Amino acid sequence: MTDAVGSIDMPDAQDEAPESKKTRKGGKRAKKGPFKRLALFYRQIVAELRKVVWPTRSQLTTYTTVVIVFVVIMIGLVTVIDFGLDKAAKYVFG
């Protein structure tokens, strides 16, 4: 007897799991000791840091100036809003 997919007696190919293939616990990490894994980690860190595009001194100065000016403007804005709300609260509540 068959259904819409295939025979009931014969399972589909995707339903069968290959029993001959053994899975290794831990993958590639199981082979290496903790010191080799730590050394690999630091080598990967150094490799990633070499990919970083570091800013020049003038770019760094420009970025720092922009950040400081922005922070000063935000401090002024918050101070003005705080002062205004303080005056409004004193006016309303006496």
* pLDDT value of position 70: 98
CA dihedral 76, 82, 83, 86 (to 10 degrees): 180
Distance CA 79, CA 77 (A): 5
Distance CA 48, CA 42 (A): 10
* pLDDT value of position 94: 82
Contact 2, 8 (CB under 8 A): yes
* pLDDT value of position 31: 74
Supply 85's token pair: 């709300």
Q: What residue ranges of the chain have pLDDT lower than 70? A: 1-30
Distance CA 94, CA 89 (A): 8
